[in-house]
């Protein structure tokens, strides 16, 4: 991509606060953006070939609310990313991430996090520090179990479809705001699904198709009628 074309995008972004440059074969984060650290609200560099984010620049976008880098080649995120105190939406689907920075819990404004199609092997514990997080997509990773710490998550929707999950802590029933839990296409036996999800949680949409049991067996479990009451009440609300 030519310098003049990039310059034109930078000039437009200066006025709009939005920098979008998708499908351009970029191999690195455009250094020209450091001129715009104080006025960009949205950056979208999806569908490129970016392998890393520059630590010296990325944490300086003080007004940034939305950052999308889907379909790139990121293997690691710099700690400096966690300085983005106003960031509300972070979308990093289809990269090569194995973990999140230890300081990830400092992204205090984060509401939506998409990490589908990465190489995460565990539920990142840092997510439990994020009090405003509403939606988390961890589908298509390599997560095998959900530990006790899950009970501290504040999310409303948790997508864990297409992982390798065979164990779930009963603490998932303690999530105070969790309404939608997606567990499709995992490795769950019915005996490994905590019954308290049905009988004693806030969850009103449980998606478990494509596991190691028949859905009709789920309907026979104690507490299923309580779950259906919540499911039906929610359906009526949005009808």
Per-chain mean pLDDT for the chain: 96
Q: Would the pLDDT of 179 be above 90? A: yes
Residues 158 and 83 in one domain: no
Residue 83 sits in the same domain as residue 128: no
Percentage above 70 pLDDT, the chain: 99
Predicted pLDDT of residue 238: 74
- Is residue 61 domain-shared with residue 149, that is, in the same domain? no
pLDDT, tens digit, 9 for 90 and up, residues 99-141: 999 999 999 999 999 999 999 999 999 999 999 999 999 999 9
User: Can you give the C-alpha Rg of the chain in angstroms?
Assistant: 20
Which of 71, 87, 103 is a domain's end point? 87
Cα 18 to Cα 42, 119, 168, distances in angstroms: 5, 29, 40
In a domain, 28, yes or no: yes
pLDDT at 1: 54
Domain that holds residue 148: 119-238
Query: Would 104 be classed as within a structural domain?
Result: no
pLDDT tens digits along 181-232: 999 999 999 999 999 999 999 999 999 999 999 999 999 999 999 999 999 9
Same domain for 14 and 124, yes or no, is: no
Is the separation of the CB atoms in 119 and 145 below 8 Å?
no
**Which pLDDT does position 2 carry in this prediction?**
61
For residues 174 and 223, membership in a common domain is answered with yes
Among 37, 63, 87, residue at a domain's last position: 87
Q: What is the mean pLDDT of residues 163-182?
A: 98
Give me the number of domains the chain comprises.
2
Whether residue 148 sits in one domain with residue 224: yes
pLDDT digit string, tens, across residues 39-76 = 999 999 999 999 999 999 999 999 999 999 999 999 99
Tokens (6 digits) for 202: 């806030």
> Same domain for 67 and 161?
no
Question: 72 to each of 33, 93, 163, 204, how far by Cα in Å?
Answer: 18, 8, 21, 34
Task: State the DSSP code for 69.
Answer: -
Helix runs in 17-73, H state only = 55-58
In the predicted model, is pLDDT for residue 159 greater than 70? yes
Same domain, yes or no: 219 and 132: yes
The answer to whether 155 and 133 have CB atoms below 8 angstroms apart is yes
Last-in-domain residue among 68, 87, 106: 87
- CATH of residue 33: 3.80.10.10
* Within-domain flag for 102: no
Q: What CA–CA distances, in Å, run from 131 to 49, 119, 175?
A: 32, 25, 12
Q: What is the pLDDT of residue 236?
A: 80
């Amino acid at each position: 991509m030519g310098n003049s074309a990039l310059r034109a995008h930078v000039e437009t972004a200066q006025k709009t606060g939005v920098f979008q440059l998708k499908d351009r074969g970029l191999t690195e984060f455009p250094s020209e953006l450091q001129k715009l650290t104080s006025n960009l609200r949205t950056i979208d560099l999806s569908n490129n070939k970016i392998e890393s984010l520059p630590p010296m620049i990325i944490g300086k976008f003080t007004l940034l609310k939305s950052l999308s880098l889907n379909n790139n080649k990121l293997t690691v995120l710099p700690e400096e990313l966690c300085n983005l105190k106003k960031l509300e939406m972070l979308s990093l689907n289809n990269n090569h991430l194995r973990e999140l920075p230890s300081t990830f819990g400092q992204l205090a404004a984060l509401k939506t996090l998409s990490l589908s199609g990465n190489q995460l092997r565990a539920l990142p514990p840092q997510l439990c520090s994020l009090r405003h997080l509403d939606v988390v997509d961890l589908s298509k990773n390599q997560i095998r179990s959900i530990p006790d710490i899950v009970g501290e998550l504040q999310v409303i929707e948790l997508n864990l479809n297409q992982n390798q999950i065979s164990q779930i802590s009963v603490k998932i029933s303690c999530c105070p705001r969790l309404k939608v839990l997606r567990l499709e296409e995992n490795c769950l036996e019915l005996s490994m699904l905590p019954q308290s999800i049905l009988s004693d949680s806030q969850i009103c949409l449980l998606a478990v198709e494509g596991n190691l049991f028949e859905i009709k067996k789920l309907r026979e479990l104690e507490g299923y009628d309580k779950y259906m009451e919540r499911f039906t009440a929610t359906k009526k609300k949005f009808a």
